[in-house]
Amino acid sequence: MTKGAVIHADGGSRGNPGPAGAGAVITCQGETQAEISKFLGHATNNVAEYTSLVLALEKALHLGFEQVHVYMDSELIVKQMTGLYRVKNENLLPLFVKAKKLSSQFASFNISHIRRENNKTADRLANEAMDKGHSIKHAETL
């Protein structure tokens, strides 16, 4: 039996570019398998979105999933990953290439755009990462 997961991924940046975070949740049959919340330092929103996808795909592979369906509220990332848009930004190209390489390692990979309000857990995890990063930065300056 093949093992399938649902991934909700999101990234954000305060200031764009600014303090950035990536968040993702991986579930299997409604049960949470992993949560990712990572502060990325100073980055753009799109870099944070791609990084959340890359981190989630790496984690899903590590957990042994063979099939994944990714949901993101970034229309740009979804359309680039499905080939509807070209990647014009040279800063995004390495992340796109990495995400494509990771996605090809699954027996089945799908990615879909969803509305932001349907991606609340991943959004919360990305914001928690930005909050943690902000508090770390603040502590370093004291």
pLDDT by residue (tens digit) across 1-48? 569 999 999 999 999 999 999 999 999 999 999 999 999 999 999 999
pLDDT attached to residue 2:
64
> Mind listing the pLDDT tens digit for each residue in 98-135?
999 999 999 999 999 999 999 999 999 999 999 988 66
Instruction: Report pTM.
Output: 0.94
Pick the CATH number of 4-141 from 3.30.420.10, 3.30.565.10, 3.10.105.10, 3.40.50.720: 3.30.420.10
Q: Where is 28: in which H helix or E strand? A: strand 18-28
pLDDT attached to residue 133:
85
pLDDT attached to residue 9:
98
Domain ranges across the chain: 4-141
Distance CA 1, CA 67 (A): 11
Is the pLDDT confidence value at 55 over 70?
Answer: yes
Alpha-carbon distances, residue 21 vs 2, 37, 72, 103, 117 (angstroms): 32, 7, 15, 21, 18
